[in-house]
Amino acid sequence: MKNLKIIAAVGKNMELGYRNDLIWKIKEDLQFFKKQTMGNYIIMGKNTYESLPKQLAGRKYIVLTSDEHLHKNDKLLTFRTIRDVLEFVKKNKDSQFFVIGGGQIYKSFLPYVNAMYLTEINDTFKNADTFFPAFDKNQWIKQNIQVFEENKITYKRILYLRKKTK
Ligand SMILES: NC(=O)c1ccc[n+]([C@@H]2O[C@H](COP(=O)([O-])OP(=O)(O)OC[C@H]3O[C@@H](n4cnc5c(N)ncnc54)[C@H](OP(=O)(O)O)[C@@H]3O)[C@@H](O)[C@H]2O)c1
């Protein structure tokens, strides 16, 4: 799906989170996330929704959950299945959708996504409890590789594009 992308920040072991929070908070990367997602739909699981410190302004929320309480929140679009979200994405071809996590949701959407922005942080965190799903890097082309450093942590931002299957 052309209008659906993953965006994530991972450690050297594909770490994503710890105790329902981010491991690294890199200012420049959070600004990049903001720039990409502003005005667009962001798709997340309930845990990630609950982990966000505040409602992110200017973004349209899609939350996957079986929690009936959340389905009554009229500030959110809520869905019960991945398939229903994919149908909504398909119907709204002129809108951009970003899968913003967490681990469960990345894993479910990875097969349907042809592009992902991964910020690869040159650091590890041994207590991490949530990870980005494994994927075969041979099936992706790396584009726009940029290298950064903030507070002595180096990281790369890579746009992965899925190779076309013949
Ligand atoms: N580094 C990054 O870029 C990044 C980005 C985002 C999040 N994170 C981190 O990732 C962690 C959270 O990830 P997580 O894997 O624990 O949780 P998650 O993917 O955010 O949410 C999981 C929840 O989403 C719902 N869900 C998942 N699959 C579903 C499906 N197929 N259909 C309907 N609902 C579904 C379920 O909610 P119900 O139980 O209500 O049904 C499930 O408990 C946190 O530590 C967060 O900080 C990191």
For 78, the domain range is: 4-162
Average pLDDT estimate for 36-51: 98
Q: Average pLDDT of 28-39?
A: 98
Indicate if the pLDDT at residue 165 is higher than 80: no
pLDDT at 75: 87
Residue 158 has pLDDT above 70, yes or no: yes
Residue 166 pLDDT: 64
Mean pLDDT of 74-100: 97
pLDDT of residue 118 exceeding 90, the answer is yes
Report the domain count for the chain: 1
For residue 25, what pLDDT is reported? 95
Determine the distance separating the centroid of ligand 1 and the alpha carbon of 103, expressed in angstroms: 6
CATH number at residue 9: 3.40.430.10
Ligand 1 pocket residues where CB is under 6 Å: 8-9, 16-17, 20-22, 44-48, 51, 64-67, 80-82, 100-105, 108, 130
Per-residue pLDDT at 29 exceeds 90: yes
- The pTM of this model reads 0.98
* DSSP letters spanning the chain: -TTEEEEEEE-TT-EEEETTEES---HHHHHHHHHHHTTSEEEEEHHHHHH-SS--TT-EEEEE---HHHHT-TTSEEES-HHHHHHHHHH-TTS-EEEEE-HHHHHHHGGG-SEEEEEEES---TT--EEPPP--GGGEEEEEEEEEEETTEEEEEEEEEEPPP-
Select from 25, 79, 81, 104 the residue to mutate for testing ligand 1; criterion: most ligand atoms less than 8 Å from CB. Answer: 104
